[in-house]
Amino acid sequence: MSATLIRIPHADARGLLHRLLLVSSAGVLCVSLVYFLLGCCDSDVSENAPGGSSGPGTTGTPGLDGDGAGREWTASRRLPQALIIGVKKGGTRALLEFLRLHPDVRALGSEPHFFDRHYARGLGWYRSLMPKALDGQIVMEKTPRYFVAAETPARIHSMSREIKLIVVVRDPVTRAISDYTQIISKTPDIPSFESLTFKNRTSGQIDSQWSPIWIGLYAKHLERWLAYFPLSQIHFVHGERLISDPAGELGRVQDFLGLQRIITDKHFYFNKTKGFPCLKKPEGSSKPHCLGKTKGRAHPKIDPEVIQRLRDFYYPHNLKFYQLVGQDFGWQ
C-alpha cells in the first residue's frame, strides 16, 4: 500500500507556524513572570516600595512627593549615625521631638536600650529597629541611660568610631528633683526626697549612690566617654536654654549634625501652663503638638536647706564638668 502524502497549502503552513511562535512566546513570558514573583529579585525592593510602612515608633519618610517618590526605592534601614545618650530628665524627649521636624532626620521614637540592655541581640537586631532612610538622611535614636551605663562607650565605639553623640544636661539639683517626681508618680509610697538624699541626715553626708543624685555627676560619667571619643564628637545641649530658647539650641544641634538650619523660631511657642515650649500647629493638624502629660509635672516642695546642701555637694563636680567641656552652664 502506498502512503498518501497530505499537502498543506503554503499560506496555511505559514499561519500555523505563526500561531506556534505566538504560543511559545506566551509560554516563555508566563514562566519568566512566575520566576520573578517567586523571588528572583532582591526582597528589599518590595520592602522599600512606595507605600511601605516605616514600622512602629518611627516617623514617615519625608520628602517623597514629586520626583522624590522614586528615591524611596533606595530607602534602607541603617545603623544610626547620631545618638542622644543622655541625660535622664534633662530634656531628651523634647530634643528628639523637635529634631524630628527636620526632613533630613529619621529618628526612632522609642528608646531601644540596645547598648545597655539588649546588646546580646546583635547589631542586626538593632538595625532592624531603625526607620528606613534615604541617602543623605541622618538616622538616630535616644536612650538617656547610655550616658551613665559603664559598658556603653566601648560598645558604641565598636559599632562606629565616627558617630556623633548628643548629651542634654540640666542643673543636677533640679534634675534630681525631677527624677524623684517621676519616681513618686509610679511608686507614691517611697520615702521623702530629703530622707533619700542623705546617708545620714544628721551628719549631712549625701548619698551619691542614690540614682537621682548619681546621674548628676556629669564629669564622672563623661570621663568614660572621653576615653573613647574626642570632645569634638560630643555636643552638649543646655537643658535650661532648650526651654527658654529652643530655636537657638536646635540651631546649634543642626550645625553639629551638619544639617541645614531648617528648625527655627517659627516652629515654637511657649506653653505657659506646662512651662515649656511646644510645636506650633503643623499643617493638616487641628491642634499644636506638646509633649505628653507626664512632661512638666509640678515638683514637690523640697526643704531649702536640703537644696543648698545639694548645691554645695555638686559645686566641685560642676566645675570639673565645665573644665572638661570648655563651657560654663551657670548652675548655682
Catalytic positions are 89
Ligand-binding site membership of 296 (annotated) = yes
89 is in an annotated binding site: yes
How far is residue 253's CA from residue 99's CA, in Å, rounded to a whole number?
A: 9
Residue 93 annotated in ligand binding: yes
How many C-beta atoms lie closer than 10 Å to residue 207's C-beta? Answer: 15
Pairwise CA distance, residues 242 & 235, whole Å: 14
201 among annotated binding-site residues: no
User: How far is 295 from 53, CA to CA, in rounded Å?
Assistant: 29
Please state, as a whole number, how many other Cβ atoms lie within 10 Å of the Cβ of residue 331. 20
d(C-alpha 70, C-alpha 325), whole Å: 44
| Polymer length of the chain | 332
* Alpha-helical regions (H) of 142-267: 152-159, 172-186, 193-197, 211-214, 218-226, 239-244, 246-256
SS (H, E, C) 58-104: ECCCCCCCHHHHHHHHHCEECCCCEEEEECCCCCHHHHHHHHCCCCC
| 221 annotated to bind ligand | no
Residue 295 assigned to a binding site = yes
248 is in an annotated binding site: no
- Asked whether the beta carbons of 111 and 80 are under 8 A apart, the reply is no
Burial-class residue 178 by CB neighbours within 10 Å (0-12, 13-18, 19+).
Answer: buried
66: annotated binding-site residue?
no
Annotated ligand binding at 272? The verdict is no
Contacts 24+ apart (CB under 8 A), 205-214: 206/309, 206/310, 206/313, 208/313, 211/179, 212/175, 212/176, 212/177, 212/179, 212/180, 212/183, 213/172, 213/176, 213/310, 213/313, 214/148
Asked if residue 299 belongs to a known ligand binding site, the reply is yes
Please state the residue numbers annotated as binding site. Answer: 89-93, 170, 178, 295-299
Please state the residue numbers annotated as binding site for 3'-phosphoadenylyl sulfate. Answer: 89-93, 170, 178, 295-299
